[in-house]
Amino acid sequence: MKAAILRERSGALLLVSPVLVFMAVFFLWPLWAMVTAAFVDDAVSKVLPRTAASIVSWDGQGIPSEAAHKALVQDLRVATDEQALGEAVRRLNSAASGFRTLLGRTIPAVKAASDPAQVDLLTVDPRWKDTRFWVALKEAMPPYTDRNILAAVDMKRDGSGSIVLEGADASAHRLIMLRTLLVAAMVTIACAVIGLPYAMLAASLTGWKRSVLLLAVVLPLWTSLLVRTAAWFILLQNEGLINGALQAIGLINSPLPLIFNRLGVVIAMTHVLLPFMVLPIYSVILGIPGNLMSAAQSMGAGPVRAFWRVLLPLSLPGILSGSLLVFMVAIGYYITPALLGGANDQMISSVIAFYATGTANWGLAGALGLILLVVTTVLYTIYGRFSTSPQVPGA
Amino acid sequence: MFRALQITFGIAIVIFLLMPIFAILPLAFTSSVFLNYPIPAYSMRWMHELTTADVWRTSIVNSLIIGSGATVLATVLGTLASLGMRKGALPMVSLLRTLFLLPMVVPAVVLGVGMQIFLVRLGLASTYLGVTIAHSVLCIPFVIVSVSAALQGIDPSIERAASSLGAPPVTVFRRVTLPLAIPGVVSGAIFAFATSLDEVVLTLFVAGPNQRTLARQMFSSIRENINPTVAAAALLLIIGTLCLGGLAALLRWRQKRSALMTAPSAI
Segment A222-226 shows an average pLDDT of 86
Residues of A within 8 A of B105 (CB-CB) are: 328, 376-377, 380, 392
Structure confidence at residue A169 (pLDDT): 66
Pairwise CA distance, residues A386 & A212, whole Å = 28
- Is the pLDDT reported for residue A290 higher than 50? yes
- Mark yes or no for CB contact A395/B87 under 8 Å: no
What's the pLDDT band for A118 if we cut at 50, 70, 90? confident
Region B169-193: mean pLDDT is 89
The stretch A389-393 carries a mean pLDDT of 44
The radius of gyration computed from the CA coordinates of chain B, to the nearest angstrom, equals 23
Find the range with the poorest average confidence among B114-123, B125-134, B167-176, B197-206: B167-176
More confident: A384 or A281:
A281
Pairing, β A155-157 against β A163-165: antiparallel
Average pLDDT on B128-149 reads: 95
- For residue A225, the chain B residues in CB contact (below 8 A) are 198, 200
Dihedral angle computed from the Cα positions of residues B97, B101, B106 and B112, in that order, rounded to the nearest 10 degrees: 110
Residue B42 phi, psi dihedral angles, 5° rounding: -90, 140
- CB-CB neighbors (< 8 A) of A8 in chain B: 87, 89
Helix (H), strand (E), coil (C) string for chain B: CHHHHHHHHHHHHHHHHHHHHHHHCHHHHECCCCCCCCCCCECCHHHHHHHHCHHHHHHHHHHHHHHHHHHHHHHHHHHHHHHHHHCCCCCCHHHHHHHHHHHHCCCHHHHHHHHHHHHHHHCCCCCHHHHHHHHHHHHHHHHHHHHHHHHHCCCHHHHHHHHHCCCCHHHHHHHHHHHHHHHHHHHHHHHHHHHHHHCCHHHHHHCCHHHCCHHHHHHHHHHHCCCCHHHHHHHHHHHHHHHHHHHHHHHHHHHHHHHHHHCHHHC
Name the closest residue on chain A to residue B83, using Cα atoms.
A15
B201 contacts B108 by C-beta, under 8 angstroms: yes
- Which pLDDT band holds residue B36 (cuts at 50, 70, 90)? confident
- Compare B68 and A162 and report the one with higher pLDDT: B68
Domain range B50-266, CATH class = mainly alpha
Q: What is the mean pLDDT of residues A106-126?
A: 83
Q: Which domains are delineated in chain A?
A: 43-143 (no CATH), 173-386 (1.10.3720.10)
Residues of chain B with C-beta less than 8 angstroms from the C-beta of A23: 99-100, 137, 140
Q: Is A174 exposed, middle or buried (0-12, 13-18, 19+ CB in 10 A)?
A: middle
Query: What residue of A is the nearest CA neighbor of B131?
Result: A26
Q: What is the pTM of this model?
A: 0.87
Q: With cut-offs at 50, 70 and 90, classify the pLDDT of residue A76.
A: confident
Q: What is the DSSP letter of A41?
A: -
CB contact under 8 A, B198 and A226: yes
| Mean pLDDT estimate for chain A | 87
- Output b/e per residue, B178-205; b: 16+ Cβ within 10 A: eebbebbbbbbbbbbbbbbbbbbbbbbb
pLDDT at residue A5 in the model: 82
For residue A115, is pLDDT > 70?
Answer: yes
Most confident of A34-38, B252-256, B260-264: A34-38
Q: Which residues contact B44 (CB under 8 A, 6 or more apart)?
A: B29
Give the gyration radius of chain A's Cα atoms: 30
Chain A residues with beta carbon closer than 8 angstroms to that of B204: 353, 357
Window A:121-180, CB contacts with B under 8 Å: none
* 8 Å CB contact of A352 and B138: no
What's the one-letter identity of residue A369?
Answer: G
Tell me the mean pLDDT in the region A53-62.
84
Largest CA distance in chain A: 102
User: Chain B residue with minimal CA distance to A227?
Assistant: B234
Residues 265-284 of A with CB under 8 A from B: 271, 274
Residue B72 confidence (pLDDT) above 70? yes
B110's CB contacts (< 8 A; 6+ apart) are A31, A34, A332, A352, A369, A372, A373, A376
Q: Report domain extents, chain B.
A: 50-266
Looking at residue A393, its pLDDT comes to 42
| Pick from A23, A216, A224: CB nearest B18 | A216
- With 80 as the cut, is the pLDDT of residue A251 above it? yes
Q: B192 with B142: CB under 8 angstroms?
A: yes
Q: What was the pLDDT predicted at A282?
A: 93
**pLDDT value of position B260:** 59
pLDDT band at residue B266, thresholds of 50, 70 and 90?
very low
Q: Which residues pair with A40 in a beta bridge?
A: A144
Distance between CA atoms of residues B188 and A53, nearest Å: 56
Q: Does A21 contact B at CB distance below 8 Å?
A: no
Q: Chain B partners of A21 at a C-beta cutoff of 8 Å?
A: none
Q: What is the pLDDT of residue B258?
A: 65
ipTM of the complex: 0.89
Say if A327 is an interface residue toward chain B (CB within 8 Å).
no
pLDDT at A330 over 80: yes
